[in-house]
Structure 1
Amino acid sequence: MHQHLPLNDGHSIPQPGFGLWQVPQDHTARVVREGLAAGYRLIDGAAIYGNESGLGEGLRTTDIPRDEIFVTTKVWNDHHGYDAARRAAHESLQRIGCGYLDCLLIHWPCPDHDRYVETWKALIALRDEGLVRSIGVSNFMAPHLERIIGETGVTPVLNQIELHPRLTQADLRALHAKLGILTQSWTPLGQGKTFTAPAVQTAAARTGKSPAQVILRWHVQLGCSVIPRSTRAEGLAENLSLWDFALTEAEMAAIAALDAGERTGPDPLLFS
């Protein structure tokens, strides 16, 4: 149905997944079960989302074996530092109720705290102890990536960044490719702001797909892992139906040309 992408540590990750941001705790177990039933095998969570226990309930009440599901969560900004990050990981594991995580990310670099290197060292230790299989980062910019790699010798498996047609992140994606870091796209649909753009509409008309499917296919063809969110079973299924069509080079370029450097979320250099 869909492919896995290799990570630089020898593991692999499903290319499409679904995110649990803004999914209410009391709906999370259902959304997880429906996502897995639709065919997803990558679930993207985070401590700050407040629904890790619902994620765990969904895992325990599905027929899909745990070893076929890739579970990601993230260390929030108030748990930077070596000891605090280790504590955060153990608390997430307890809330989710599983023996290990497939991937743990630093959610934001919080450069004004200047503790992301210590936090990264904690993730390395957790990986070496077997509590986490793969470790990565989210919202890191070039200087943050270069610093953690330079100071530890360990390269993140992925960097999850805001990426959509209004923010194509070409320079950061090129750096990721050079360093062997997978790009993972959050808010991949950019809140639907380019759904009516001629570049998207034209590709949708040619392929018979929705604007959302066209944009998600654009991410897939860029080689990104992509994690759209939907709380509806129909939306979950639609977001996964990306493998029976392809965009042309001209369509890919026309969508990339919509770039305006426009963020929907915080600036990683300032956010803490």
Structure 2
Amino acid sequence: MTSGHGLTRQGFLGAALAASLGGGATAQSAELHRRPIPASGETLPVIGLGTWRGFDVGPNPAERAPLREVVATLLARGGRVIDSSPMYGHAEGVTGDLVVQVAPRERPFLATKVWTSGHEAGIAQMQRSLRLLRTERLDLMQIHNLLDWRTHLPTLREWKDRGRIRYLGISHYTESAYDAVEAVLKAERLDFLQINYALDDRAAEERLLPLAADMGVAVLVNRPFGGGGLLRRLAHAPLPDYAAEIGCASWAEILLKFVVSHPAVTCAIPGTADPGHMAANLRAGTGPLPDEPLRRRMAATLPL
């Protein structure tokens, strides 16, 4: 099947695999694997940052200090993608402030969402996001939870044509919405899909991830730790014997390596407010990734 952007699924998955070892790096390289955005060929590191909950803080410098280090760690170690939303409280404004303070050499890939009903309300919300994120152009605007998507999608296309956003997409995080997500992916030309996917939440593997590859749509993964509950359940479980084979020192790294080893996944965006966790998350984007036999084994032997 030919993708919506002129790539075959086989060609896209092959390009994704090649890009994940980008720049001639070997599997043992400490550099982050990268995957292509099918719409453009631009590559993104496979680990990014989500700002839900953790970045919803006030102006107190003590509250923001660890978040500044999280952003600095992400960008200094090769990450680029930072995802936010108007529904995340103060997160957009905090993100914008911290990126300016960190002043990275390479511009981060800033993604946010429109989450309201109505044409004018959508425009007003997106303009506010630009101000809060301190940028004149966003890398990615997503229609959150498909809310009023038929109204917002033409606006996003217009903004993309005018250069106010670089990419457009949709997002969701509940399996009950997968039929609607699938219908939109089939009907509309999109650049990105953001969806939930984790070692204990693999429903997206059935249709959505293969469809995204078929249609030439990049995939951001939210909730790669199963919404957080999975990590808590695994806290006292011993690491499996394959952990050393794929260079993992924690369950968090194992869970992330499973997610980003799927060839349709472009980038996982785990949320954290802890600089140490950010560093560990980034390690999961380096070194060997599970192959398909190991992925099946991981799913079959997950201790729950």
Identical aligned pairs, as a percentage?
Answer: 24
Residue of structure 2 in register with 1:226 after alignment? 268
Matched, 1:157 2:157: no
Q: Which one of 197, 210, 216 corresponds to residue 174 of structure 1? A: 210
Q: Which one of 173, 185, 190 corresponds to residue 221 of structure 2? A: 185
Matched, 1:37 2:76: yes
Code of the residue aligned with 1:93 in structure 2: it is: L
Residue of structure 1 in register with 2:51 after alignment? 20
Matched, 1:5 2:35: yes
Verify the 8 A CA contact 2:199 2:259 in the aligned structure 1.
no
Matched, 1:129 2:162: yes
Verify the 8 A CA contact 2:169 2:193 in the aligned structure 1.
yes
CA gap of 1:54–1:252, structure 2 versus 1, over 3 A, is same
- Structure with more contact order per residue of length (Cα contacts < 8 Å, sep ≥ 6): 2
Q: What SS does the aligned partner of 2:75 have? A: helix
- Consecutive unaligned residues in structure 2, runs of 5 or more: 1-30, 59-63
CA gap of 1:70–1:258, structure 2 versus 1, over 3 A, is farther
Tell me the CA shift for residue 196 of structure 1: 6.8
1:7-47 residue CA offsets vs partner (Å, 9 max, x unmatched):
23314433210111101324344532343234321111111
Tell me the CA shift for residue 55 of structure 1: 0.7
Residue of structure 2 in register with 1:238 after alignment? 280
1:38-92 residue CA offsets vs partner (Å, 9 max, x unmatched):
4321111111112211111111112313x5310001112xx23332222211110
Q: Distance in 2 between matches of 1:162 and 1:18?
A: 14
Verify the 8 A CA contact 1:7 1:13 in the aligned structure 2.
yes
Q: Distance in 1 between matches of 2:220 and 2:242?
A: 23
Residue of structure 2 in register with 1:215 after alignment? 255
Number of residues paired by the alignment? 249
CA gap of 1:233–1:82, structure 2 versus 1, over 3 A, is same
CA gap of 1:119–1:199, structure 2 versus 1, over 3 A, is farther
Q: Distance in 2 between matches of 1:176 and 1:256?
A: 22
Verify the 8 A CA contact 1:85 1:123 in the aligned structure 2.
no
TM-score, structure 2 length as denominator? Answer: 0.73
RMSD: 2.6
Residue of structure 2 in register with 1:86 after alignment? 123
Verify the 8 A CA contact 2:49 2:83 in the aligned structure 1.
yes
Tell me the CA shift for residue 175 of structure 1: 1.5
For structure 1, which segment, 79-88 or 137-146, has the greater mean C-alpha deviation from structure 2 after superposition? 137-146
